Structures are given as structure tokens and as C-alpha cells.
Amino acid sequence: MLFKNRHSVHPNSIERISAMVYDEYQTDIGCLRFVLRENGTLVRILLTDHHWFTFKENNAVKKSSELGKPIRQQFQEYVGGERKDFELPFELEGTFFQKQSWKALQAIPYGETKSYSEIARLINRPQAIRAVGHANSINPFPIIFPCHRVIGKSKSLTGYAGGLEMKKQLLRIEGVFI
């Protein structure tokens, strides 16, 4: 799925602060937390407790397992090796460059990897390797925008918001062993 962007909301909007819910899904690779609008549109996926607590401190969210059910289902299928792509409505915010970088992530086929420099070349910004790395580090939808498929030029594992062990496990799900 390439950018089924519903709409953008200004970062200082009251709606952004008030109308959100969350659900969580405990997997063998870790706890995934999904932040959604009350209409079911995905706003963010958080991979670590640190990111979750920081987000929760700054946003009013309440638990909703019912709204999170379709997301949990698709992630369960992915972790079980039954799903390669996600079909979820989401709300995307970011700069033009970040959105280009995230779109390039979606072009990396399941079970394959690319280096940061290859991503930079894909978006016609071959000198922007570090900027691509930064865009990956703030990816609002890890796994859906598969930044875990981006590795070092020497085929080494490099940073991941959920930690290198989670990145390694995600790649193993897809049949990539590094």
C-alpha cells in the first residue's frame, strides 16, 4: 500500500491532542502500540516503552481494543509469515523529504534489504544518506514503512527504533538472515 493518506492535521490542532485511542499487541518480537483516531485511522506505531511513555505524557489517549482489532489482525498475520503488505488507513505527517524517504521504504520488497545510500539514490538525493537515516529514525509507521529492511552498506545491522534484536527478528520473519 503506498500512501493512502486520509488527511493531515496541523500539529498544534486540538483534534490531534483529544481524539486518539490506542491498542497494543504483544508479540514474540515485542509489544507494538498502535495510536489511532477514533475513526480507526492509524496515527502512529510505537515500538518501545520509552517512546510510548513519552507519547502518552504529551497526548490524551484511551485504550480501545475494538478499534485496534483490524490492525492487530494484520500484524498477527505478518508476524506469522502470512502477510507481506498492510492495508490500513493512516494519517501521515512529515516533510516532503521524509515522505519521499518513507515511500522509498515501501518500495523495498518483502524479504529484501537496501542500504541507506541506495534509498538516497532511489529518491534522487544521493548525498542525503544521513538525512535518509534520520527520516528512518522518526518513521511514524515502522514495519508498515519497513525501515527494518534498511541496513548498512557493508550488510551490517544498523540502528532501529525498536532495537537491533527486534530488527533482526523482523528480517528473519521475512527470510533475511544477517
**Rounded Cα gap, residues 24 and 51, in angstroms:** 13
In order, the DSSP letters of 115-166 are EHHHHHHHTT-TT-HHHHHHHHHT-SSBTTB-GGGEE-TTS-----TT-HHH
Q: Is 5 helix (H, G, I), strand (E, B) or coil?
A: strand
Residues recognised as catalytic: 147
97 touches 136 (CB < 8 A): no
151 touches 158 (CB < 8 A): yes
104 touches 122 (CB < 8 A): yes
Q: Is 43 helix (H, G, I), strand (E, B) or coil?
A: strand
- Give backbone dihedrals phi and psi of 151, rounded to 5 degrees, phi first: -125, 175
